[in-house]
Structures are given as structure tokens and as C-alpha cells.
Amino acid sequence: MYSKILVLRFPQTEVQKPIVCCLARNYDLVFNILNATVLPRKEGIMVLELSGSRKNFNEGVQYLKSQGVSVQNASQEVKRDNDKCTHCGACTAVCPTGALSVKRPDMTVSFDQGRCSVCELCVPACPPRAMKIRPINNSFF
């Protein structure tokens, strides 16, 4: 199983079409929408995790591009400044993937980078501002 987090930018002419649903139906891909802003008659932006065989993944990305969708690897990651973290647990309440969790019985907050979907919900939720967004290598398909 091949999986990547992608940033999709839909031109205003394409936001009404069920393009992402076609990825599941026509290319046997599984998608998880992590964040989206899609408005009628405006450009749409969507962050999603796309999974499937590498062949189907590549064909699905080519389909998106043929529909006028800009496809980009997620170009940032969430990092925690361990020196600032007070282990209050506020971030765990908003983390949709369980990347941030409270370890019992010592009640410390653990951060599993591999489970992080880069949804950024933890950044404003963190009172001591220990959670940061860090740019990573920009690469395009």
C-alpha cells in the first residue's frame, strides 16, 4: 500500500465536479480528506491522504492533473519543541489521528510524527506554543 498526503488546488471551473470520488471509483484509491476549502465559483484547496497501489496512485494523480487540478506533496510538517511543552494535553483533544496522546500513568504527552496528518489543529490549541509548522522539501509531481 502506497500513501501520501497531497495538496490539491481546484480551478473554479472544476469545483462542482466529483473529481475526488472518481479516484475511489475509477482508480481503487482510498482518500481521507484532512482539510478543505471548496466554495462555488472560487478556487478550491484540499489536503488529503491518498492510498492505494503505486500504479493506481500514479494513474490517479495523472487523472487529477488532466482535470486541471494542481497536485503537490504536502510541503510542511508539524514539530514539537520539547523544551516548551508543558504536557498539558490540550493538543490531544483536537488531534484527529491520535498522533498526540497522553501516556499513562506518568501523564506525559507523546507525539508520533508518523501518525501526524499535518492538519495543524494542534498549533493554535497549544497554550505554550510548543507545536510548530516546519517547511520541508517542496516537490511536485
Backbone angles phi, psi at 78, to 5 degrees: -95, 135
Which ranges of 1-141 would DSSP assign to H, the alpha helix? 19-27, 54-66, 122-125
The mean pLDDT value for 47-55 works out to 90
The average confidence (pLDDT) of the chain is 87
The span from the CA of 114 to the CA of 117, in Å, is 8
d(CA 10, CA 45): 6
The Cα 65–Cα 138 span in angstroms is: 18
Fold (CATH) for 78-135: Alpha-Beta Plaits (3.30.70)
pLDDT digits (tens, 9 = 90+) for 57-108: 999 999 999 999 999 887 778 899 999 999 999 999 999 889 999 999 999 9
H-run or E-run covering 84: none
| CA atoms of 94 and 118, how far apart (whole Å) | 12
Query: Three cell numbers at 64?
Result: 487529477
Provide the residue count of the chain: 141
Q: Name the least confident of 7-11, 26-30, 36-40, 81-85.
A: 36-40
Q: Is domain 2-73 given the CATH code 3.30.70.260 in the classification? A: yes
**Whether the Cβ atoms of residue 89 and residue 108 lie closer than 8 Å to each other:** no
Q: Where in the chain is the domain with CATH 3.30.70.20?
A: 78-135
Residue 140 predicted with pLDDT over 90: no
Residue range(s) occupied by CATH 3.30.70.260 in the chain:
2-73
Grid cell, residue 121, equals: 489543529
